[in-house]
């Protein structure tokens, strides 16, 4: 059994993950509106991945005898100033999620909930990857500056993402 406080915090994280999915779907629509299908496909795949993060939490709460409670998902931003600005927003969002996960680990420790602390290690590792991927795209976009060729190449490469 989890404490009600831990259960509530994990439920709140389901909402964060579903919002992440919604945000990346909004970014997919944004990139598509710029005729950047590769960026759009990458964001769409990312949105799907975020759903799996939400479901991991959903299943874990049930396994521990709790009940997932779904709240309203906030409306994401629709417009970003440039392809770079949208990816910078994605990176900032992942940094926010990392701090949320760290907070959950701290709470699991405070509640002496070893099972939840162990479960959360998957998310801790995942955040290292999520931040690093977004960061490398942001860095390459900054390096490219105004190059249309660079953007075209990058769109092609990002479009290769399958999952």
Binding residues for ligand OFO (CB under 6 A): 17, 20, 50, 53, 94, 97, 126, 130
Residue with Cβ nearer ligand OFO (95 or 157) = 95
CA dist list (Å): 81 to 62, 86, 95: 41, 7, 20
Question: For residue 64, what are its two tokens?
Answer: 């521990």
Q: Which residue is nearest to ligand OFO (CB)?
A: 20
Q: How far is the CB of 102 from ligand OFO (least distance, A)?
A: 13
Residue with Cβ nearer ligand OFO (106 or 129) = 129
Output the CA torsion 23→29→34→40 (10° steps): 80
Q: How far is the CB of 161 from ligand OFO (least distance, A)?
A: 14
Q: 154: closest CA among 46, 44, 38, 42?
A: 38
Residue with Cβ nearer ligand OFO (99 or 149) = 99
Residue with Cβ nearer ligand OFO (112 or 162) = 162
Describe the chain by its helix, strand, coil percentages, rounded to 5: 80, 0, 20
Q: How far is the CB of 150 from ligand OFO (least distance, A)?
A: 25
Distance between CA atoms of residues 163 and 30, nearest Å: 20
Helix (H) or strand (E) run with residue 154 in it:
helix 148-158
Q: How far is the CB of 135 from ligand OFO (least distance, A)?
A: 13
Q: How far is the CB of 20 from ligand OFO (least distance, A)?
A: 4
3-state secondary structure of 111: coil
Residue with Cβ nearer ligand OFO (88 or 151) = 88
């Amino acid at each position: 059994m989890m404490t009600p406080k831990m259960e509530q915090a994990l439920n709140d994280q389901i909402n964060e993950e579903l919002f992440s999915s919604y945000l990346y779907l909004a970014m997919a629509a944004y990139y598509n509106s710029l005729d950047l299908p590769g960026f759009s496909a990458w964001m769409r795949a990312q949105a799907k991945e975020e759903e799996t993060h939400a479901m991991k939490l959903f299943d874990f709460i049930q396994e521990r005898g709790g009940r997932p409670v779904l709240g309203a998902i906030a409306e994401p931003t629709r417009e970003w100033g440039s392809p770079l600005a949208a990816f910078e927003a994605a990176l900032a969002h992942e940094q926010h999620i990392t701090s949320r996960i760290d907070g959950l680990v701290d709470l699991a420790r405070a509640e002496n909930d070893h099972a939840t602390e162990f479960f959360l290690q998957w998310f801790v590792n995942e955040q290292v990857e999520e931040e690093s991927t977004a960061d490398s795209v942001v860095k390459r976009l900054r390096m490219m500056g105004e190059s249309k060729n660079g953007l075209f190449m990058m769109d092609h490469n990002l479009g290769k993402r399958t999952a």
